[in-house]
Structure 1
Amino acid sequence: MEEIDHLYPNASRSVTALQGTARTMWFTGVVIASIYGVISVLGLIGNITLIKTFCSAKSIRNVPNLFMSSLALGDVLLLVTCAPVDASRYLSKEWLFGRVGCKVIPFIQLTSVGVSVFTLTALSADRYRAIVKPLDIQTSSTTTSIVLRAALIWLFSLILAIPEAVFSDLHTFNVTSTNESFVTCAPYPTSGELHPKIHSMASFLIFYVIPLLVISVYYTFIARSLMRSASNLPVEGNVHARRQASVQAKVKLSGP
């Protein structure tokens, strides 16, 4: 070893540096995976507790809590599928869950994202009706209609996630700089740039832009309604104060 170090000092130093870098990357991956694990455990405990409480206590079965329970179920699916996959990327370049996992996991992930986003959108609509049109919410808050809306959100999210299961597949990528190859799961065909752009743009519009616009419109109407109500309160208060002053004046005039 001493002779090799004497003849090839730079090569020996390079090997040592690579080994040190590999150990550092492995340690970093373990730390990040551990953090993912802690977050997943805490998230599962909290969301499962919420779902269990909703199912066991009839007194809290209302529209917001049903949507929150549906949201919690979506979060459970996201924690079970997304956290292990993201953590594995820090430990291995290879896809570790096979071709079936490449089909099923992205499908479940996008379904849970859709459930979360569309449930928040439905909650904004429900709050709008409760604040701006409180009489309408009485006719739309029956148990059947609430369950139907939650089921439609899940069905719509499942339909939107079908392309993930259809097009996601294992692909081999070659790194020319290091002459290495690894297998990973991609949600679209890797040939050309059109598919990634379409996938990214469609996901951005459906799961972010459109729900954000809908939620913004509802909360704008809510804010406008509350501001109108607040502006009417001082007027009503002044009228009440004037009436009290008038009554007191009459009492004084009629007194001894």
Structure 2
Amino acid sequence: MITTLAFDADDTLWHNERFYRLTEESFTAMLADYAEPDHLSERLLEAERRNLKRYGYGIKGFVLSMIETAVEVTENRVPAATIRQILDASHDMLEHPVELLPHVRDTVEALTPHYRTIIVTKGDLMDQERKIAASGLAELFDGIEIVSEKTPDIYRSIFDRHGDGAERAMMVGNSMRSDVVPAIEAGSWGVHVPHGLTWALEHAEAPAGHPRFREIGDLGGLPGLLDTLR
């Protein structure tokens, strides 16, 4: 039944959220004289939520939200040196190496002869292109889609272009909100691969009991899962 496999990128194929967490820790240290870490993290998350429609997903929106939060908590008195530190931290994020998660390459290589395989990721175009190139995985995929948001309509369109429609496709990813739920709503299978670190705004209730929902511990379990569905 399944002819197309779609993979999320960040925290499904390679580590990503850890760099946001490390940068946020540095950010709270920079502003320790103005706000407690927990309060600052709450303010930052509020800014990120507000700014999604303005800046979209990715590092640039995250950095602008940090600057906005710094201005707010210091009541417009944030030192220029702190702004420089935030910008330096963002440059480090944009240059971090790509580290594949366990079993990724072996799994994709094993499945590509039998399925159409595509990457479906969202975020800043240039940063996503950089990570895909640096991962060394691009040549293994039949297609790459970088989108601003993941919705049922987006998935239907992608699966129509790259395969035989949503009903014969499977989306695999770490985000319940972006990778699993909307893919299932589009009519495809949705496979959750939990990651130890997941951004708060990517959380959603699992569609437990849905016949097209599955969960595996890591990508190494995907070939076995597909065997059970044949």
Q: What TM-score comes out, normalization by structure 1 length?
A: 0.24
- Structure with the greater alpha carbon radius of gyration: 1
Q: More strand by proportion, 1 or 2?
A: 2
- Larger relative helix fraction: 1
